[in-house]
Each structure stands twice: as structure tokens, then as C-alpha cells.
């Protein structure tokens, strides 16, 4: 049994990128990670780690903060907010965007599902 929670933002961001690009079925088949900064380190102001694109159009940004990662994107805002549920994952609206806060490695799969809900055809 694992007793430690993965809360390193750099590692959470890496796991999220792997989940988003590693799935080949819809809706993940159109998602890509773009403009990755492999040297990004967490900071209190949030360091941009990479973008998220759908069919080549950038729709989101992943930032690293101490102890968490945020995913801000502008498509499927209501669907993503509704799908963001569970320990270590929360969502808030920010104007015309949704911001997911991913606080642990265990929450990465749920965050990936929320992004999938956002980009899935209605």
C-alpha cells in the first residue's frame, strides 16, 4: 500500500501530459501538448509548463505552482467544471475559461477525464 501522496507539481504536470497524449481513443485523439518548457519549475505565481491544443488550436495552459498544477482552458467550460470532482481536484470559472486545480498524482486521471469531457462533441 502506498502511504505517500505525489504532490510534486513538476511530476503531476508530467503525468497529466502523459495521460492527455497517451490515450488514442476519442476525444483524446485530437489533444496534443504544445510549447512544452521542460525546464519549468513550480513558482508562487505559476510557471507555464505547456499548452493544450485540440486539432492544432491552442485552447489551454498548464501552470506549475508549489504543490499543485492548474489547467486553464476555454472550451467546454461547463462540462469540464461538472466533471471535475473528487479528492485533489477542483474547478472554478475564470471569465470565459475554467481552471482545474490538480493537487496530487492521484487526481490526474480525474483531471484528464474533465479535459476529455470539455473537448468531447456535444
CB 113 within 8 A of CB 83: yes
Q: Read off the pTM.
A: 0.92
- Residue 90: phi and psi, rounded to 5, are -140, 165
Q: In what order do the strands lie in the sheet containing 97-102?
A: 31-34, 47-54, 57-65, 68-73, 97-102, 89-94
CB 77 within 8 A of CB 97: yes
Pairwise CA distance, residues 22 & 28, whole Å: 8
What is the predicted pLDDT for the residue at 87? Answer: 93
What is the predicted pLDDT for the residue at 85? Answer: 87
Q: Which residue in the block uniquely carries the three cell numbers 503525468?
A: 15
Domain limits of the chain?
9-119
The domain defined by 9-119 folds into: 3.90.1150
Q: What is the pLDDT along the chain (122 residues), one digit of tens a residue?
A: 444 567 799 999 999 999 999 988 888 999 999 999 999 999 999 999 999 999 999 999 999 999 999 999 999 999 999 999 899 999 999 999 999 999 999 999 999 999 999 988 77
Amino acid at each position: 500500500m502506498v502511504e505517500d501522496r505525489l504532490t510534486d507539481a513538476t511530476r503531476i504536470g508530467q503525468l497529466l501530459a502523459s495521460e492527455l497524449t497517451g490515450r488514442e481513443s476519442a476525444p483524446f485523439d485530437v489533444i496534443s501538448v504544445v510549447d512544452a518548457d521542460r525546464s519549468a519549475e513550480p513558482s508562487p505565481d505559476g510557471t507555464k509548463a505547456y499548452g493544450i491544443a485540440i486539432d492544432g488550436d491552442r485552447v489551454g495552459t498548464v501552470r506549475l505552482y508549489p504543490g499543485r498544477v492548474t489547467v486553464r482552458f476555454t472550451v467546454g467550460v461547463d462540462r469540464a467544471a461538472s466533471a471535475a470532482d473528487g479528492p485533489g481536484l477542483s474547478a472554478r470559472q475564470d471569465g470565459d475559461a475554467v481552471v482545474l486545480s490538480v493537487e496530487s498524482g492521484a487526481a490526474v486521471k480525474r483531471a484528464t477525464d474533465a479535459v476529455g469531457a470539455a473537448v468531447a462533441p456535444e
